Amino acid sequence: MLDTSLDAVAFCEGARSLAVRGVRAGRAFAVHDWVADEVPVALEYNGISHAVMLATPLDLEDFALGFSLSEGILGAAHELYAVEEVVSELGITLRLQVASSAFARLKERRRSMAGRTGCGLCGTESLAQVARDLPVLTDQTPLEREAISRAMSQFFSFQTLQQATGAVHAAAWCSAQGEVMWLREDVGRHNALDKLIGALAAQDVDAASGFIAVTSRASFEMVQKTAMAGVPLLAAVSAPTSYAVATAQRARMTLVGFARQQDLVVYCDSGRLTLEPSLDNAHAH
């Protein structure tokens, strides 16, 4: 007899219930399970199409604002006047109305890219455009290692979509004490971070007073977006790349990898993160 006791019963926003079958612990089953939604999301600025991303259709206004800020299209949240969400059979279009200054920056970027061959990075067409100017993060508020451990221990309990589907990333903004205050999820790690950045900006959160934790590796794009948001520390569950470390050094960001339970690895410090006194004493002796 097939086991049907694992059927999904609760509503899960951002996912759909599909009939699946398989074998678990040697026993065949046929159930309904949650599968994360993934749809094409196009961003249009004052009527001009700029980018198409594959994303989870949740918190899309946060996504529009965060993407625009982290990519340097908007200089501040107030330059975004409105977001209209248009759904079609092909996906979702986000129609952004932005200030003339932001639109001028976007048009200048598009002119600089005209006639060049792409290099595979979002909206980037030359090596010079990869290493864009980043803010230097001068905030030196000390952060304790225990705060990162506390945040990571809370992380999973807030990831409702991940618990249901096992298919999405999360990005969270945490207080200096390690409390998870804001969290966004998406099938794409960059999208989750953009959604978080947008939420922080929309709520006028003092982002520099805490840190960001992510469930992914720390790529250079993740470091770059965190720096653009003015957040002085990024903690990732997985490893960083060498370019991510170099980018963090350039922005004077504290970069932490392999942040799991009580463990972590510091790749770029800038004097912000303090470890347990017992560890320091052990090295001293």
10-residue mean pLDDT series, the chain (285 residues) = 51 92 95 95 97 97 98 96 98 98 90 50 55 85 93 94 96 97 98 98 96 97 97 97 96 96 91 71 46
Which residue's entry shows tokens 């749809």?
39
Domains in the chain, number: 3
3-class DSSP state of 237? coil
Per-residue pLDDT at 128: 59
Asked if residue 277 and residue 158 are part of one domain, the reply reads: yes
Per-residue pLDDT at 6: 46
For residue 278 the two structure tokens come to 């017992």
Residue 23 bridge partners (DSSP): 28
Asked if residue 59 and residue 179 are part of one domain, the reply reads: no
Per-residue pLDDT at 271: 86
Which residue range forms the structural domain that includes residue 224?
143-284
Asked if residue 162 and residue 255 are part of one domain, the reply reads: yes
Residue at 245 is within a domain: yes
Asked if residue 110 and residue 31 are part of one domain, the reply reads: no
For residue 247 the two structure tokens come to 């980018």
Per-residue pLDDT at 111: 73
How far is C-alpha 240 from the geometric centre of its chain's CA atoms?
Answer: 14
**Is there a contact between 194 and 205 (Cβ–Cβ < 8 Å)?**
no
CATH of the domain at 99: 3.10.20.10
**Is there a contact between 14 and 185 (Cβ–Cβ < 8 Å)?**
yes
CATH of the domain at 237: 3.40.140.10
Task: Enumerate the active-site residues.
Answer: 119
| Cα 251 from Cα 269, distance rounded (Å) | 11
